[in-house]
Amino acid sequence: MRSLPLVSLSALIAGLLAVPAQAQDVSFDESADSLADNGEIVVVAESMRGQVDAPQPPLLVLDTKDIAAYGVGSLQELMEVLSPQTGSSRGGPPAFLVNGMRISSFRELRSYPPEAIEKVEILPEEVAQRYGFAPDRRVVNFILKKNYSSREIELEYGQPDQGGYSEKEVELTFLKLDGPNRLNINAEFNDSSMLTEAERNIVQAQTSLSDIPSDPSQAPYRSLVNDSNEVEVTANWSRKLGDAGSSLSVNGTYELSDNRSLQGLNSVRLTDPDGQSVLRNFGAADPLEKNRRNDTYSLGSTLNVPVDEWEVTATLDASLAKSRTETDRNADTAALEAAALAGEFALDGAITADTSNGYDTARSKVYSLGSLVTAMGRPLLLPAGEVSVTLDAGYSWDRIQSRDIALLSEDSVQLTRGDLSAGANIAIPIASRREDHWSALGDVTLNLAGGVNELSDFGTLTDWSAGVNWGLTESLNLSATYIAEDAAPSLSQLGDPQVVTNNVQLYDLRNEETVLAQVTSGGNPALPKQSQRDWKISLNWDLPIMERASINLDYINSHTDDVTASFPTLTPSIEAAFPDRVTRDETGRLIALDQRAVTFAQQKQQRIKLGINLGGSFGENDDAAGGGRPGGRGRPGGGGPPPRGGAADKAGAGRSDGAPGKQGANAAAGENGRQSSENQSANAQSGGSEANGQQSEGKRPERSEGRRSGGGRRGGGGMGGRPSGGRWFLNLTQTIELNNTILISENGPQLDLLEGDALSAGGNPRYSAALRGGVFYKGYGLFTSGKFSGKSHVSGTVSDLYFDDLVTFDIRLFADLGQREKLVEKAPIFENTRISLKIDNVFDARQRVTNGEGEVPLRYQPDLVDPTGRFIGVQLRKLF
């Protein structure tokens, strides 16, 4: 039965392959062909400026019209909709390049409109190591248009179809691209109103109900969606330095967010002289609140300098994040309880006691400074090709200062970490069809990498990896990599301020009841370093069945010791392992839970991740297609980073992105981008390109071996003409968890997360999938996305919790009004204007959770699991 989801998805793909598409044959400019001395036909395939040159082929390539079919309004939104393709099988976030070069952080270009992008390449984790990134990150390379300028205003409004709250967004963007020179200014404001439990008719837990009918209910004073607003201002500047190809970029960002939540009412249990007892709720005029404010200042810079035959990139990223959380204290009810016990206050009397008792305060300041210098070159020529070498060295410094002020206590924590790092990556070509060296083997490259981090608080951490990449044919590629790395917990995990929140709704599996309990969160200074050992085996296959079709298959086998993790779902096994984290009253009812991070002795995981990418063009074409399959998965030649003056722009248009340092040591530096938003704005307008392909200096001509059509490496050809018709695409990603077990302690119990044990409140499904599909034609577009999460269960003391499978679909419709000529003639303001409609969770689906008797626990009421449901939004986007 476990194979059923995979069979169903395969059947879906088989049906979709019947979609008619106009296939394009790969063609080359005849002028680029020449005869070698031996009469062999040589085809010179021009490489696009800024394209990544590595043995591993891209997993996905998108051109301007492909991007337009997603209907997004910024690169931030594009990354959100591409998250299934950019997410690593090993769990790391994507690393970013611009024109094949590192940048200081994604802040440099996340607000860019998609019209500024000529092409997007998504590459596997092995390529990340060539640019000094950790091996658990896929790479996204943005190739910018040489010349582009726009001013943009974007307005968005949305709310659930049930009402209750709304979201509003205003964004202003200026961008000017002039070759290697860039200037971008962006300002954004977001606001979300509050949604309470009363507005969703949430049934209250028995333990929170007053025994006096006239007392107020908790529901109107407990928030499901918090009242929040965010402001962000970003400036990015980049300039060419001289004529040698050097460049400098600087970016700065300020972010402010305010968040207010309601935590319910004060409660007190009163007992009279006769021993009769009642629970009372009071203080509706002054409910318990939690208020949080975050201020973040960020600054980044990138210097790119060619040195002889090496490309040297230096990145600097600094940030200061300040946080203040104020949590109302429960009212002092000692006098009220004493009066009732003495018979001086009736159990059902009106409670007028003062509820004001001050608030607990948690403050933190997090300082981060990271620098990294990366040198990429090809110092040695072997019979199979050039050896690619990447060297990196850097230093990062982090400090967290936190202070907790409670009624009877005050604690302060200051932690500081310095991290001196160095690393190297080398790619050695073993066999090559292009160089005619052991060509019967295909293209074989050996990859070796190693690094060391010297941390001031954790000592020496090491990482190394070894892998082989085997290009069996032009369209079929296999790779295998072994990765060993140490990682230290972040300073936030160690030293975040302790925050105590009252009246948090929890489900107690031991007693099978929903309770309101006190929850503690914050840092845990006792966390150790972890050691991880992974095998990753991948297959990438460019299918010859349609204009664009490819399969990506990853197998991951991971073994980790001393695993740092968030506190898991409170199951009987977890309570037995961490008894000091759980507080119960004399009746056994759960009243408090410490949810600070914990350490497990060991975790073993095995998973398969399958990606299927389909796409093509349709409709009328202005020109014959040229330069290869549009949007296809290219196979850029060679082995490694672009040579000076080659695929990277000689004018230095590229930069670099990423956190300095290795995974775990300081993965946050330079990658603290905005969190992904569920309300992804809809819009993109395709524009003309001035980024014509340039032949790379020093690149060898690629030999067709007699195949005049399709013999070259696809994806690396010249720009040529583009079809003016429409585009369609379908991307499917499925993950199958084969094994996921955790050993709590050396001699403790083992948890099987796929067979009833759990770390999260939603169980651990064996199967999950994500679908993205869209079509764009003559200014009209449709984008849809879907998610599938399989069934799971969590074992309890009396009975288990069962989580049904869940399927959700989102849809976005958009229209480029500027392409409606008659409309523009009547109202010129609609020139370069796009209007969009989005519907998230189209079928208002919610996961159903039941206990062993088929009943839905109060904690898992549908509107508690998902208070939003179907969400409808409209967006207006105008370019000037």
The chain-wide mean pLDDT, for the chain, equals 82
The pLDDT of residue 637 is 40
Report the number of distinct structural domains present in the chain: 1
Closest CA to 652 of 48, 99, 54: 99
Q: Is the pLDDT of residue 443 over 60?
A: yes
Mean pLDDT of 58-66: 90
Q: Is the pLDDT of residue 722 over 70?
A: no
Confidence of residue 778 (pLDDT cuts 50, 70, 90): confident
Mean pLDDT of 6-34: 38
The pLDDT of residue 550 is 93
Q: Is the pLDDT of residue 42 over 80?
A: no
Confidence of residue 878 (pLDDT cuts 50, 70, 90): very high
Confidence of residue 745 (pLDDT cuts 50, 70, 90): confident
Rounded to whole angstroms, how far apart are CA atoms 287 and 356? 10
Mean pLDDT of 400-421: 86
DSSP letters spanning 776-831: EETTEEEEEEEEEE--EEE--SSS-EEE--EEEEEEEEEEEGGG-HHHHHH-GGGT
Confidence of residue 567 (pLDDT cuts 50, 70, 90): confident
Residue 406 burial (CB count, 10 A): 16
Q: What is the domain-level CATH number for residue 293?
A: 2.40.170.20
Element (H, E) at 338: helix 334-341
Rounded to whole angstroms, how far apart are CA atoms 314 and 303? 5
Confidence of residue 621 (pLDDT cuts 50, 70, 90): low
Q: Which two tokens stand for residue 782?
A: 């449709």
Q: Which two tokens stand for residue 184?
A: 């971008």
396-400, 498-502, 843-847: segment of lowest average pLDDT: 498-502
The pLDDT of residue 724 is 58
DSSP letters spanning 222-291: BEEE-EEEEEEEEEEEEEEETTTTEEEEEEEEEEEEEEEEEEE-EEEEEE-TTS-EEEEEE-TTS-EEEE
Q: Is the pLDDT of residue 427 over 80?
A: yes
Bridge partner list, 178: 147, 181
Rounded to whole angstroms, how far apart are CA atoms 494 and 525? 4
Q: Is the pLDDT of residue 585 over 70?
A: yes
Confidence of residue 268 (pLDDT cuts 50, 70, 90): very high
Task: For residue range 143-187, list pLDDT tens digits in order.
Answer: 999 999 999 999 999 999 999 999 999 999 999 999 889 999 999
**Count of alpha carbons within 13 angstroms of residue 277, beta-carbon side:** 5
The pLDDT of residue 406 is 78
Closest CA to 510 of 598, 567, 574, 568: 574
Q: How far apart are the first and last CA of the chain?
A: 56
How many residues would you count in the chain? 880
Q: Domain limits at 733?
A: 4-879
Confidence of residue 477 (pLDDT cuts 50, 70, 90): very high
Element (H, E) at 6: helix 4-16
Q: Is the pLDDT of residue 41 over 80?
A: no
Looking at residue 497, the DSSP 8-state letter turns out to be P
3-state secondary structure 657-697: CCCCCCCCCCCCCCCCCCCCCCCCCCCCCCCCCCCCCCCCC
**Is beta strand 780-789 parallel, antiparallel or unpaired with respect to 767-777?**
antiparallel
SS3 112: coil
The pLDDT of residue 692 is 35
Confidence of residue 121 (pLDDT cuts 50, 70, 90): very high
Range with top average pLDDT, 161-170, 455-464, 587-596:
161-170
The pLDDT of residue 168 is 98
Rounded to whole angstroms, how far apart are CA atoms 573 and 582? 12
Q: Is the pLDDT of residue 829 over 60?
A: yes
Rounded to whole angstroms, how far apart are CA atoms 821 and 731? 33
- Cα dihedral 178, 179, 180, 186 sign: positive
**Amino acid, single-letter form, for residue 325:** T
The pLDDT of residue 510 is 85
Closest CA to 141 of 125, 158, 154, 123: 123
Q: Is the pLDDT of residue 37 over 50?
A: no
